Structure 1
Amino acid sequence: MLYGIATSTVEGLERTVSRYLRRWFGVPPSFSNIGLYSRTNQLQLPLSSLVEEFKVAKTRLVVTFKESKDDLVRKTGTETRTGRKWSASQAVSQAESRLQHKDIVGTTAVSRQVLGIIKSQRWGSADSTTKRQMIQNEVRLAEEEERRTRAVSMGAQGAWTKWCTTDRKLTWAEIWRCEPVRLSFLLRSVYDLLPSPSNLHRWGLQDNPICPLRDKVGTMEHVLSACSTSLTQGRYRWRHDCVLGELADTLERERTKKREKQSPQIIQFVKEGQTAPKKKAATTSLIDESDKWEMAVDLRRKLIFPDIVQTNLRPDIVIWSRKDKRLAMIELTVPWETRCEESYERKRAKYTELQEQCKGRGWKTWLFPVEIGSRGFPAQSLWRMLSAMGITGGERKKVIGRLSLAAERASSWLWLKREEKSWKPTTDT
């Protein structure tokens, strides 16, 4: 913040830092800085851009002089030098203009956000300390928008911008615990830098881009999710079962967990002029609707649907209560990340008729098609299903983390065995 350093000098330092980070993570030199420093990627690392921190620090210095309580300091017109490539004073003026424009536009919802869920601070009503922080955040937002724009224009390394999944944030604790091979696979698979036949051909290291198992172009998507030979041999089914086993264990623990009976609601009287203390609302879930549940999983043996209706369909998990006529069907899919919404609609259409038949027999029925990407990125449907089952908060994050790890490890094993003609499933992943 204090020393006069040119922006180009800081950019050179960041290039050096990035080079060593790529070597440490086990990714090639072509790995983009967007993957290292972006805060809106599908896979976010706990790293900050040196250039971004430099710009924020210089912005903070400009605002400190501009908003100083001392008239002499405020009127000296001190110039913050950052070289010819970027001007801190200009960045502050642009940030203030954008914040004033946001006051005019008002609060807007983004993507699937519900109207009114965001409570943003308005520039016109903020104090000096808050304004300083808002300007710094706006500078960070401008840097992130530039990274996002570059990512959209990138063909392979920007493919994650088209995903329909929720993001994953790696913490330092996860990185330290993670095996180097697994971390390298995760990063390279997200940004399509694995040595697939298609990439090797594009890099000039292989004569043809054909998959060794199938006479088709061997892209990473083909190897991990679309090879008909791998499908016939049961490779994708094995990965699906790895994730399904983890999900079934979680739901079994939730099903058998002892639950406290809800006490009757008591009216609490308060004196005039006083307010009743707020109590945390009791969380209710699908499991709370009965005290006697049964569960069947389509894993290692053929699932037999409960004798409610006659059907040949086999959902992955069925949870039912004969006593209270409650039924929940869960159908898991581990698709390529760009096909999560397509998989959701297909599975919902497949089981909707069965759901209506069960409702016609007097059963209260829920249907949960859920998806988790082949590289471990969960769709929103998985979060909703866990919430409906009463798994919320930190426990839900832990469950999602275990499911993501199961999918990621299985895909990593499939990748290692991509050139083997025969397939033998293993539990040592």
Structure 2
Amino acid sequence: MYSEILLFWCSFSVTEKPVKSLGKTFDCSLKDAASIRATNEQLESWLTTVDKSGLPGKFKAWLYQHGISPRILWPLLVYEFPISTVEGFERRVSNYLRRWLGLPRSLSSIALYGKKNKLTLPINSLSEEFMVTRAREVLQYRDSKDLRVSQAGIEVRTGRKWRAHEAVDQAESRLRHKELVGPVAIGRAGLGSTPTTHYNKLKGKERRNLVQKEVTAGIEEQRASQMVGMRQQGAWTRWEDAMERKISWAELWRADPYRIKFLIQSVYDTLPSPSNLFCWGKVETPACTLCQGRGSLEHILSSCPKALGEGRYRWRHDQVLKVVAESITTAINQSKRLKPPRRKISFLRAGEPPPSRPTVQTGLLGTTNDWQLRVDLGKQLKFPRDIVETSLRPDMVLFSVTSKQVILMELTVPWEERMEEASERKREKYAELVEECRRWGWRAQCLPIEVGGRGFAGKSLCRAYSLLGITGARKRRAISAASEAAEKASRWLWIRRDKLWANASWTQAGN
């Protein structure tokens, strides 16, 4: 009798006023339709409030990432949202983000949320967070220690377009397949260099985390396959020798908004070049204003014969070369203050702590203290006659007389898709000079290095720094400085694309 009275009063209370428990609202219908509509209105209210706040666009994006996104994820978890509704939310959010960052509406949302892109932004995808959260919910129910929960057959409903339990099954199948295949070689590293995680040996939280990472990897693969099908915005998928760039919130805050806007649009080729304006129906001809060729972004920043003749690309090349030379000069000066590494065996008594080791310089710069660097800047570089006489002029010559070592470094600032071609061309150009140096008893090698025109350093630059002994934080700072110099110079070339190229423009851009 008491239970019947309690049930009556509870049903009367829910009918009169909805009950809220753990963030979830229950009404008399026991359905989530009203709550989904309320969540939709709440999201629109938050976005509108941020949009009208009067803050700079990058701060509005930060408010979404750290304020709106965490708050909207909880109702997406407790209510039965179909994935199609969540994707609608994300499309709305993407429109606001494009407007706040000054990006065109034609830019793909993969450019905003992709974590395996060549250019990664610090913004999370709402649909991806939803998928990973729902996958974690499936694992929590299935792997619960309470048998009444694990055997209850609880179904996580996410609509017909994407099902959470199928995504979990597929992720676990992929992990088992990786377990059977075993460790594989990645890049230049040998077998065993990359630590492997054995899925079958993991349990509990570690096992669930690995499954969630695999669900995320599957989402990234789907994005990559979509980008490959985009001829223009997906061109970065063919940058085999370019290193990835990740923009942090700290960098986004410090950077000029126009710089970030140019960087993103140049990577995905959505800048208003004559070629794009012609495709969009804004102009009558796609001709370049300098040479009357087809004015694509690649043509303007890399292959315009008139710009090449005026020295625009040479100026950009020298801006990057100056930064690279400064990094190497700093490393040379530091190596002279450090002791060269010595191989010795130290024996310790049982229980005795090892002595602290002095900081030593590794790499080629640590082999001797008389390194000299000559750079083809300001005045015409002359190859050291003490080594060999030649008319060739590498961008940088690094040599040591006592150890008879010489390194030829040739910088190229190519279009990112042509990095490998530029490296092979420079290597062939100086092959005979390297052989001539070796015939005269010098240990010589040629190091072609590339920094892309849009600020993406080539892997050759990373290898060259490592070979010289510039490692760790110093290498990251040096690569970042070279990338920023190339990006800044290219942005100036873009601004001056239809203007005269005078000495005044060089001074202004250099400052």
How does the TM-score come out when normalised to structure 2? 0.80
The aligned runs of 1:275-424 (5 Å cut-off) are 284-307=362-385, 308-424=387-503
> Match of 2:507, SS?
coil
Moved more, 117-126 or 335-344: 117-126
Alpha-carbon distance, 1:324 to partner: 2.7
Does structure 2 retain, via aligned residues, the 8 Å contact 1:268–1:276?
no
Find 2:283's aligned residue among 206, 210, 213. 206
Matched with 1:69 is 145
Does structure 2 retain, via aligned residues, the 8 Å contact 1:25–1:180?
yes
Matched with 2:301 is 224
Q: Percent identity?
A: 46
* 1:141 matches 2:238: no
Alpha-carbon distance, 1:265 to partner: 4.4
Matched with 2:21 is none
Alpha-carbon distance, 1:111 to partner: 5.1
Alpha-carbon distance, 1:271 to partner: 5.5
The aligned runs of 1:88-99 (5 Å cut-off) are 88-99=164-175
**Partner amino acid for 2:370?**
K
Matched with 1:267 is 345
Structure 2 unaligned residues grouped into runs of 5+: 1-76
CA shift digits 1:287-319 (9 cap, x unpaired): 122211222110011001101211110011112
Matched with 1:189 is 266
Structure with more helix by fraction: 2
Alpha-carbon distance, 1:386 to partner: 0.8
Structure 1 unaligned residues grouped into runs of 5+: none
Looking at structure 2, the residues matched to 10 and 186 of structure 1 have their Cα atoms a distance apart, in angstroms, of 29
Does structure 2 retain, via aligned residues, the 8 Å contact 1:235–1:423?
no
CA shift digits 1:97-152 (9 cap, x unpaired): 22122222222334555332222212211122221011101110111011000000
Alpha-carbon distance, 1:21 to partner: 0.9
Alpha-carbon distance, 1:35 to partner: 0.5
CA shift digits 1:148-175 (9 cap, x unpaired): 0000000100000111311111111111
Matched with 2:6 is none
Looking at structure 2, the residues matched to 268 and 79 of structure 1 have their Cα atoms a distance apart, in angstroms, of 63
Does structure 1 retain, via aligned residues, the 8 Å contact 2:339–2:361?
no
> Match of 1:367, SS?
strand
Does structure 2 retain, via aligned residues, the 8 Å contact 1:7–1:85?
yes
Moved more, 87-96 or 140-149: 87-96
Moved more, 79-88 or 381-390: 79-88
Does structure 1 retain, via aligned residues, the 8 Å contact 2:307–2:313?
yes
Does structure 2 retain, via aligned residues, the 8 Å contact 1:213–1:421?
no
* 1:239 matches 2:319: no
Moved more, 236-245 or 249-258: 249-258
* 1:81 matches 2:157: yes
**Partner amino acid for 2:126?**
L
Looking at structure 2, the residues matched to 117 and 323 of structure 1 have their Cα atoms a distance apart, in angstroms, of 36
CA shift digits 1:384-407 (9 cap, x unpaired): 111112110111111111110000
Alpha-carbon distance, 1:85 to partner: 2.1
> Match of 1:303, SS?
coil
Does structure 2 retain, via aligned residues, the 8 Å contact 1:62–1:89?
yes
CA shift digits 1:48-97 (9 cap, x unpaired): 11101001111111100111111111111111121222211121112112
Greater relative contact order (Cα < 8 A, sep 6+): 1
> Match of 1:403, SS?
helix
Looking at structure 1, the residues matched to 102 and 355 of structure 2 have their Cα atoms a distance apart, in angstroms, of 51
> Match of 2:302, SS?
helix
> Match of 1:428, SS?
helix
* 1:428 matches 2:508: yes
Find 1:179's aligned residue among 245, 256, 267. 256
Task: Output the aligned Cα RMSD.
Answer: 1.9
How does the TM-score come out when normalised to structure 1? 0.95
Looking at structure 2, the residues matched to 89 and 61 of structure 1 have their Cα atoms a distance apart, in angstroms, of 9
Looking at structure 2, the residues matched to 249 and 335 of structure 1 have their Cα atoms a distance apart, in angstroms, of 21
**Partner amino acid for 2:407?**
A
Moved more, 206-215 or 95-104: 95-104
Looking at structure 2, the residues matched to 26 and 181 of structure 1 have their Cα atoms a distance apart, in angstroms, of 8
Q: How many residues align?
A: 428
Does structure 1 retain, via aligned residues, the 8 Å contact 2:413–2:450?
yes
**Partner amino acid for 1:293?**
W
Change (3 A) 1:349 1:106: same
* 1:256 matches 2:321: no
